């Protein structure tokens, strides 16, 4: 994500605390619990199982704002389960089955609690199917990062970090449980239904509505799942043998957005020179029109850009930032939200590197300009442990990026390059944390780097 505004966190922090706090009291051993124990957001996601695949069929009617869906979730129990949780904001659950048998479903705050007829054994694979529907709760203005669902007369878009998936489907909503997806969006004729990955087909239903069938073939963190319904200029092409699908809201004037978005392959190819092969089997991007969506977002294979992104002219830095996340964040995902600098610091570094390549300021200038400011707020927030209210603060982005520049100087270009490439290769399609990165940097460079990372990532104050 690249944040258009500063200090959003203070506005949304109280809301973040609401999800299922009371459920932490549950202690019975054969229950999956609310929360995977994230140090910043302990109630996010759920324990007790590991999702392999979501089969989502969602019908959205822009005229009423109503969404109706079925979600077929294939998972494996990581402990004996008498019951388990999924995250779901609002919406009404109609029926739930587990392995084809009707199951009991109750709701507690934003948790859907499912009790199968028979307990599930540890290690057993199971399938739960949930039919649900309603009007997704519209996200308040300036709260895009939490529960991001935006409905307008023109359609809807679901996008937001650290949580947005539960606004439109029942989900284990934490990046540590990545899964494959098949997503079918059914929309009225004339509308597009845009999501992640490959477009496997479009079929017309009996009532004249169209189903768009998307397939995500690399594991995806739930916050990267995209749903956009509206009138879009959809362009399908091919780059390096992989489909490239872009969509630009019809309301956005033809011109700058189209021209900038079309540079996606060029920027992605440049990023391959620092991060290794592009990690997914599709390229793309989407420009949404809803002005409440203020931040660009690295939705997997199809980053979201906003109505404002190219309003004032060309900007390829933002392309570099969101595309860099395809490696740093999407393919290699954070283990916990405390590791957010592994996404944003790396994407910022890649953005600066692209700007240098494109004739903008050099990497050294980006560094020097920030380092020169002794009173900068960058020195107040340690990017390796920013605190949950500061996960999208400037320090996570810029001091995070500066950390990589400083590391590069310390270990040399060749070893630094090896570190980045090994990082994306070793953790591809998985999760990693800051300790993993430090260990890799030490192993590759042959240097003891604890003191270096302590001052850059964990200490307050400007590193000497």
Pick the closer one to Zn ion by CB: 270 or 349.
349
Indicate whether 1 belongs to the interface with Zn ion (CB under 5 A).
yes
The continuous run of DSSP H or E covering 325 comes out as: helix 317-327
Give me the least distance between CB of 358 and Zn ion, in Å please: 18
Pick the closer one to Zn ion by CB: 185 or 304.
304
Give me the least distance between CB of 161 and Zn ion, in Å please: 9
Q: Which of 176, 166, 157 is nearest to 56 (CA)?
A: 166
Phi, psi of 296 (to 5 degrees): -70, 155
Chain residues 285-344 in contact with Zn ion, contact rule CB under 5 A? 344
Pick the closer one to Zn ion by CB: 98 or 396.
396
Give me the least distance between CB of 298 and Zn ion, in Å please: 6
Give me the least distance between CB of 426 and Zn ion, in Å please: 22
Give me the least distance between CB of 345 and Zn ion, in Å please: 9
Report the Cα–Cα distance between both ends of the chain, in Å, rounded.
Answer: 29
Burial 172-209 (b: 16+ CB within 10 A, else e): bbbbbbbbbbbbbbbbbeebbbbbbbbbeeeeeeeeeb
Taking CB under 5 A as the rule, which mask of x and - marks residues 9-28 in contact with Zn ion? --------------------
Indicate whether 244 belongs to the interface with Zn ion (CB under 5 A).
no
Compute the half-sphere exposure of residue 372: CA atoms within 13 Å on the CB side of its CA: 6
Size of the site for Zn ion (CB under 5 A): 4
Q: Is the peptide bond before 7 cis (omega within 30 degrees of 0)?
A: no
Give me the least distance between CB of 303 and Zn ion, in Å please: 10
Give me the least distance between CB of 455 and Zn ion, in Å please: 24
Q: What is the chain's Cα-based Rg?
A: 22
Angle between helix 400-411 and helix 341-357 axes, rounded to 10 deg: 70
151 by DSSP, 3-state: which? strand
Indicate whether 257 belongs to the interface with Zn ion (CB under 5 A).
no
For 7, other C-beta atoms within 10 Å of its C-beta total 13
234 by DSSP, 3-state: which? strand
Taking CB under 5 A as the rule, which mask of x and - marks residues 337-376 in contact with Zn ion? -------x--x-----------------------------
**CB 302, CB 194: distance < 8 Å:** yes
Edge to edge, the sheet with strand 92-98 lists 101-102, 92-98, 125-134, 66-77, 49-61, 179-187, 210-220, 198-204
Pick the closer one to Zn ion by CB: 97 or 196.
196
Pick the closer one to Zn ion by CB: 43 or 393.
393
Give me the least distance between CB of 132 and Zn ion, in Å please: 31
Pick the closer one to Zn ion by CB: 179 or 297.
297
Q: Are strands 149-152 and 210-220 parallel, antiparallel or unpaired?
A: unpaired
Stretch that binds Zn ion, among 2-10, 27-35, 46-54, 79-87 (CB under 5 A): 2-10
Edge to edge, the sheet with strand 84-87 lists 84-87, 111-115, 104-108
Stretch that binds Zn ion, among 1-9, 62-70, 215-223, 406-414 (CB under 5 A): 1-9
Dihedral sign of CA atoms 197, 200, 204, 206 in order: negative
Distance CA 245, CA 343 (A): 24
Give me the least distance between CB of 324 and Zn ion, in Å please: 8
Pick the closer one to Zn ion by CB: 177 or 330.
330
Pick the closer one to Zn ion by CB: 1 or 73.
1
Give me the least distance between CB of 393 and Zn ion, in Å please: 12
Pick the closer one to Zn ion by CB: 226 or 347.
347
Q: Please give the torsion angle defined by the CA atoms of residues 373, 343, 143 and 252, in that order, rounded to the nearest 10 degrees.
A: 100
Pick the closer one to Zn ion by CB: 3 or 444.
3
Give me the least distance between CB of 328 and Zn ion, in Å please: 9
Compute the half-sphere exposure of residue 438: CA atoms within 13 Å on the CB side of its CA: 17
Number of H helices, E strands in the chain: 11, 21
Distance CA 184, CA 276 (A): 31
227 by DSSP, 3-state: which? strand
Distance CA 264, CA 243 (A): 12
Pick the closer one to Zn ion by CB: 347 or 405.
347
Q: Which residues contact Zn ion (rule: CB under 5 A)?
A: 1-2, 344, 347
């Amino acid at each position: 994500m690249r944040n258009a505004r500063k200090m959003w966190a203070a506005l949304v922090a109280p809301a973040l605390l609401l999800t299922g706090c009371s459920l932490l009291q549950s202690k019975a051993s054969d229950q999956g619990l609310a929360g995977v124990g994230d140090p910043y957001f302990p109630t996010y996601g759920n324990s007790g199982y590991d999702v392999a695949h979501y089969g989502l069929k969602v019908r959205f009617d822009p005229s009423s704002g109503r969404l109706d869906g079925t979600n077929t979730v294939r998972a494996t129990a990581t402990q004996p389960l008498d019951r388990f949780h999924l995250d779901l904001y609002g919406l009404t659950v109609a029926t739930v089955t587990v392995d084809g048998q009707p199951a009991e479903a109750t709701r507690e705050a934003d948790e859907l609690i499912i009790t199968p007829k028979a307990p599930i054994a540890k290690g057993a694979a199971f399938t739960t199917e949930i039919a649900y529907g309603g009007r997704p709760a519209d996200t308040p203005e300036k709260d895009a990062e939490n529960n991001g669902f935006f409905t307008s007369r023109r359609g809807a878009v679901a996008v937001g970090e650290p949580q947005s998936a539960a606004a439109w489907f029942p989900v284990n909503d934490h990046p540590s449980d990545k899964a494959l997806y098949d997503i079918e969006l059914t929309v009225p004729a004339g509308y597009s239904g845009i999501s992640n990955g490959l477009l496997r087909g479009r079929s017309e239903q009996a009532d004249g509505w169209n189903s768009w069938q998307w397939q995500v073939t690399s594991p995806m963190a739930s916050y990267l799942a995209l749903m956009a319904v509206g009138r879009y200029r959809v362009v399908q092409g091919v780059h390096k043998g992989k489909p490239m699908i872009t969509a630009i809201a019809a309301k956005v004037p033809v011109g700058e957005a189209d021209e900038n978005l079309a540079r996606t392959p060029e920027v992605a190819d440049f990023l391959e020179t620092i991060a290794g092969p592009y990690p997914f089997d599709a390229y793309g991007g989407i420009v949404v029109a809803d002005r409440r969506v203020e931040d660009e977002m690295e939705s997997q294979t199809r980053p979201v850009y906003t109505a404002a992104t190219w309003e004032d002219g060309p900007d390829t830095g933002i392309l570099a930032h969101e595309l860099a996340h395809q490696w740093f964040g999407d393919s290699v995902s954070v283990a916990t939200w405390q590791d957010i600098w592994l996404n944003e610091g790396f994407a910022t570094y890649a953005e600066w590197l692209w700007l240098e390549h494109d004739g903008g300021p050099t990497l050294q200038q980006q560094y020097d300009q920030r380092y020169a400011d002794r009173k900068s707020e960058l020195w107040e927030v340690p990017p390796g442990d920013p605190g949950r209210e500061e996960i999208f603060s400037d320090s996570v982005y810029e001091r995070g990026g500066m950390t990589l520049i400083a590391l590069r100087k310390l270990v040399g270009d060749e070893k630094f390059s090896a570190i980045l490439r090994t990082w994306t290769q070793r953790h591809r399609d998985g999760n990693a944390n800051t300790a993993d990165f430090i260990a890799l940097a030490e192993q590759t460079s042959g240097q003891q780097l604890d003191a270096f990372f302590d001052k850059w990532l964990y200490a307050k104050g400007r590193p000497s």
